[in-house]
Amino acid sequence: MQLSSVVDRLDEELRTADYADVDASANGLQVGPDEAEIERAAFAVDGVRETVDRAIEADADLLVVHHGLSWGGFDRVTGRTYDRIAPLIENDLALYVSHLPLDGHPELGNAAGVADLLALENRSPFGDHGPEHVGQRGTAADPYAPADLRDRLETNLETGGQPVQHLDFGPDAIEDVAIVTGSGTDWLDEAVAAGADALVTGEGKGKVYHEAREAGIHVFLAGHYATETFGVRSLQEFVEEWGLETTYLEAPTGL
């Protein structure tokens, strides 16, 4: 399958162009020729030396990641940037990136994956980011006890052995859940305004403790990496339907 066809299909499904003005990431094809034959694709959360090397070992022609290499462009291709880009070019390994488009996709996205894990119903977009959304909100058919929701996340996410942190300031029964994966505590006020009982995200900032306490809302910090494995795994299944061989590269950080 031609690389350009893979890129066009992914860009269309993920609405890559719609996020061009709201995402610092250069989404889409970041490294690669205009045309190349793709037989094997590897998928990973982070486009880093470890996953690049492992994709090369797997004889992949394409590496698809959530966190890529270009965040507002390069001033110089030296040091760490060179060390990551050089193996891609030397081994004819293309790199495709989807950051915020993959966070907010209603079916394939990271927040959608967390919502699936929690079996949330009545879902709607959440997490305003300019004209787009980067998360989801939904309701639990059977309200969660706070400890049960934490345990469900901790048991099912790739946390690298780290516990899920829980700021236990909300109601005894959690029904309405807002989700922004990765670093999502900036959307706490939106969650409170929406009437959510809990915000599920990856990592937090120091100020969120008192903000959550004063607002009376639960916050679950399940790890940046752990909450963002869903999107690339969904893309792997999506691409497999096109007849490509695929592999998923686990590289949990515990963060």
Q: Which parts are annotated binding residues for a divalent metal cation? A: 66-67, 103, 224, 228
**126: three-class secondary structure by DSSP:** strand
Binding-site residue ranges: 66-67, 103, 224, 228
Q: Which CA distances in Å does 88 have to 51, 78, 92, 196?
A: 11, 14, 6, 43
Distance CA 87, CA 168 (A): 45
Tokens of 232: 């690339």
CB 136 within 8 A of CB 118: no
Given a contact cutoff of 8 angstroms between Cβ atoms, the answer to whether 187 and 208 are in contact is: no
Of the candidates 81, 45, 18, the residue with the CA atom closest to the CA atom of residue 253: 45
Residues 6+ apart with CB under 8 A from 116: 230
> Do the Cβ atoms of 230 and 248 come closer than 8 Å?
no
